Amino acid sequence: MSEADTSMPSPAVESDDNAAILTMRRVGGLMILLLALFGVAYSWVSWRTEKNRELHHLSSLVELGEKSLDSYFMSLESILNVLSQDMRRDGQIDIERAEILLKRLKEANPDLRIAIVAGLDGQVLATTQTSRGQALPSLANEPSFQLARDELSKGQTLSIGRPFLGPVSKEWIIPLRYGAREKNGKLLFLVGAGLALSKPQSFWKDAPLPQGAVLALRRDDGYLVLRYPVPEKMQLAEVFGQPRDGALGAFLQREHFPVSGALEAPSDVSGLDMLCVFRRLSHYPVTFYVAEPRSYLWAMWWQKVQFSYVLMLLLLFSGFAIYRWARRRQVLWEIERQQRMTALQSVNRDLEAFTYSISHDLRAPIRHIDAYARMLNEEMPDLKEPALGHLHTISKSASRMGTMVDELLRFSRTGRAPLRTRRVDLNRLVAEVRDECMRDAHGRNIAWKIVELPVVMGDPALLRLVFDNLLSNAIKFTALRSEATIEISARPGDEDEVVIDVRDNGTGFDMRYASKLFGVFQRLHREADFEGTGIGLATVQRIVQRHGGRVWAEAEPGRGAIFHVALKRASDN
């Protein structure tokens, strides 16, 4: 590699920078997403909780209102029943007695605006509105009377009619009509009373109603019997004088007038979205309901959760501030890292220049030293000791220096050469390396024990260099054994690793100095005993680490050594 090549910016550095920035953005985005999901979940749960609580409250109000109205109408029905019994003599109506009883009824119940007795043909028989001897009118053509007669004929005991505006009092009245019957149930005549619309509404003026809530009593035909409060901008005729076929009416019709229930729908009077809870009176075909604006429910919910949302916003802004701070720190770190990488690249360029110098500038002087030593030896054949020994030492040292330069260059290339990873059959590779090493063993007696080895992922050329160094070392350090034994085996490692063990019965070494084992030019034995440059195991470690593996050793002086190499096992695919 030339000096120009080393000065180029590393794509890995830019990739790491971009990956770090992308990771921070992803973490920040994930935090915001999690907080948003928590906010949505919290909103939904808290809203459902508040809504259920309010539905329970409204249901209690409806149940209380339904019972009070049902009891009130039942008491009026009981009064009219007793009145109808008292005004009969021998199965016939006593008109004089009827007039007296009607006046007493009105006096005892000031809220009743009129009391009346009418036959089935509509003819008024007695009333509190006319004087004795005055001609009494007929109600045969009045829709209110006809409706009440039809309802009572179908089995109802008390008809709660549609409110109307009294022609004399000019006051809105709720008509109540009781059907007097024979013992066999046949309808005889009607006893009616006009209840002032203001009376039941006065019952509710102190009721604990939510803001904007409405209480109302509704007939099955859609007419409102009662409503509290009445909208200020609407006339009573608009409220009570026409049927209200809104969402509630459609729901009741569709569900065949259920006993109770709840729904959300716009009001057909105010037009506001309402939460409505209803309950049908136990003894009468009318439905009582309470409705409150959804806006009130939203306001109540917001009042309870706003503090939580303030906390969530604080968390959000705090998280954003922390993200900004971390981002700034990351930028500073990246700048510092880039500066260090630049400095490292400068050092690498210097090292490359040094390597270049070694490979070109040092080789020539070394060759010259060796050549001139040989020339002196040849030109001076009569040279005696110790001068002859000095020449041999010079030549041998120059040769060793050349070998060290070559090994150093070879070591440096192992860190620069790109990996060409593929499936490598270690059985075949180790067998080839063993055969090559045995050529230099000069016929030594070496027992090889090689078990079935796995297939690993790696660069075949670099892995060949690993096992060449390991097997060469095993052969070299068993040179003092008359019968050398070298074993190569495999076993499972961590996760997807496989560990290759190279064992020999050679000289071994002291584990106290194991930290120096894989260093460049580090030797644990004298060169006079075992030749070598001290670069082989450093080369092994660099290659194994580039493959993402591990290498370590165990030994005992005089009892051999074991070198362990952990590599990634090749997948079956």
pLDDT in tens, 394-434: 877 776 666 666 666 665 665 566 778 889 999 999 998 88
Q: How many Cβ atoms sit within 10 Å of the Cβ of residue 507? A: 21
Reference 408, options 525, 544, 534, 546; nearest CA is 534
Model confidence at 85: pLDDT above 80: yes
Mean pLDDT for 92-97 is 87
3 state SS of 439: helix
| pLDDT-based confidence at residue 27 (cuts at 50, 70, 90) | confident
- Sign of the dihedral through C-alpha 419, 420, 421, 425: negative
For the entire predicted model, the pTM comes to: 0.55
3 state SS of 160: strand
**Could you tell me the residue ranges of all domains in the chain?**
1-311, 418-568
Pair of tokens at residue 29: 């985005």
Long-range contacts of 318-321 (CB under 8 A, 24+ apart): 319/28, 319/31, 319/32, 319/35, 320/28
What's the confidence (pLDDT) of residue 438? 83
Q: What one-character DSSP code corresponds to residue 358?
A: I
Q: How far apart are CA 480 and CA 141, in angstroms?
A: 137
What's the confidence (pLDDT) of residue 525? 46
Reference 325, options 22, 28, 13, 15; nearest CA is 28
pLDDT in tens, 551-569: 888 888 878 888 899 998 8
* Residue % of the chain over a pLDDT of 70: 84
Q: Is 37 left (phi over 0), alpha (psi -120 to 50) or beta?
A: alpha
Helices H / strands E in the chain, number of each: 13, 20
What's the confidence (pLDDT) of residue 6? 40
The residue length of the chain stands at 573
| pLDDT-based confidence at residue 262 (cuts at 50, 70, 90) | very high
Going from the C-alpha of 290 to that of each of 134, 287, 299, 375, the distances in angstroms are 45, 10, 18, 122
Model confidence at 381: pLDDT above 60: yes
**Which secondary-structure segment (H or E) carries 10?**
none
Reference 176, options 233, 256, 111; nearest CA is 111
What's the confidence (pLDDT) of residue 357? 66
Q: How far apart are CA 38 and CA 44, in angstroms?
A: 10
In CATH, 418-568 is 3.30.565.10: yes
Q: Is 379 left (phi over 0), alpha (psi -120 to 50) or beta?
A: alpha
Reference 475, options 391, 425, 536, 539; nearest CA is 536
What's the confidence (pLDDT) of residue 510? 73
- What is Dmax (Cα atoms) for the chain? 179
β partners of residue 228 = 215
β partners of residue 123 = 138
Q: How far apart are CA 243 and CA 254, in angstroms?
A: 17
pLDDT in tens, 446-502: 888 988 998 998 888 888 888 888 888 888 878 778 788 889 998 888 878 899 899
DSSP codes of every residue in 71-108: HHHHHHHHHHHHHHHHTEETTEE-HHHHHHHHHHHHHH
Convert 450-484 to b/e letters by CB count within 10 Å (16 or more is b).
Answer: eeebbebbbbeebbbbbbbbbbbbbbbbbeebeeb
| pLDDT-based confidence at residue 520 (cuts at 50, 70, 90) | low
Whole-number average pLDDT of the chain: 81
What's the confidence (pLDDT) of residue 165? 86
What's the confidence (pLDDT) of residue 519? 56
The torsion of the CA quartet 149, 151, 157, 161, rounded to 10 degrees, works out to: -80
What's the confidence (pLDDT) of residue 80? 92
| pLDDT-based confidence at residue 514 (cuts at 50, 70, 90) | low
Q: What's the CATH number for 1-311?
A: 3.30.450.20
* Residue % of the chain over a pLDDT of 90: 20
3-state helix, strand, coil in the chain (%, to 5): 50, 20, 30
3 state SS of 319: helix
List Cβ neighbours of 310 (8 Å cut-off, separation of 6 or more): none
